[in-house]
């Protein structure tokens, strides 16, 4: 089975990688780890599809953060959407919402409602079993995941 190197570098997982090197090991004569990791947000978190607005075109998330988006940010996004007089928010509102969603890796969990990823979801996306980092506080789990590598 011949692997397309660009495909794996660009589509290795639901996490978008800006640089083109995922490691410094040769790719020739190597087989992928099975099962394949989720390649899109919907592969990893299918329950979000129901609430995802058509104007949010994200397929992948940004890099793992070692901190979490705050409640005031999610409240501002919700109120911005609820205060829209039409079904679809203005372009300015969309730009603000998308900037916050991309910055904090927020996903749609309900009507007009976004939330940051939980440690269990990040573990799943990175190829670890759920509750792999259980025990320490949520903050410590995020730091640990931010300092780990994807399997």
pLDDT of residue 46: 93
pLDDT of residue 54: 92
Cα separation, 5 vs 10, in Å, equals: 9
For the CA atoms of 90, 96, 99, 100, what is the dihedral angle to 10 degrees? -120
Map tokens 């900037």 to a residue. Answer: 99
CB-based burial label for 111 (10 Å; 0-12, 13-18, 19+): exposed
CA atoms lying within 13 Å on the CB side of residue 75: 3
pLDDT the model gives residue 62: 75
Q: In sequence order, which residues have a C-beta less than 8 Å from that of residue 101 and are 6 or more positions away?
A: 56, 58, 77, 107, 114
What are the residue boundaries of the structural domains of the chain, listed by start?
Answer: 7-146
Q: What is the mean pLDDT of each run of 10 residues along the chain (151 residues)?
A: 49 53 63 72 91 92 75 91 80 92 91 90 82 83 78 56
Bridge partners of residue 61, in order along the sequence: 15
In this prediction the pTM is 0.71
The pLDDT score that the predictor gives to residue 75 is: 93
Question: Can you say whether the dihedral through the CA atoms of 61, 62, 67, 70 is positive or negative?
Answer: negative
In the prediction, which pLDDT does 96 show? 93
CB atoms < 10 A from the CB of 6, how many?
9
pLDDT for 24 equals: 57
């Amino acid at each position: 089975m011949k692997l397309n190197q660009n495909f794996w570098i660009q589509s290795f997982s639901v996490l978008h990688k800006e640089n083109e090197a995922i490691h410094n090991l040769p790719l020739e004569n190597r087989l992928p780890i099975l099962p394949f990791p989720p390649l899109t947000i919907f592969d990893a978190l299918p329950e979000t599809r129901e609430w995802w607005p058509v104007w949010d075109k994200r397929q992948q998330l940004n890099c793992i953060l070692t901190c979490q988006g705050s409640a005031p940010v999610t409240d501002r996004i919700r109120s911005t959407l609820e205060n829209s007089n039409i079904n679809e928010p203005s372009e300015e509102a969309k730009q603000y919402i998308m900037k916050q969603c991309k910055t904090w890796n927020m996903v749609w969990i309900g009507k007009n409602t976004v939330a940051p990823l939980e440690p269990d979801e990040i573990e799943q996306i990175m190829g670890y079993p759920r509750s792999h980092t259980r025990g320490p506080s949520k903050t410590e789990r995020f730091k640990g995941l931010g300092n780990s590598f994807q399997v």
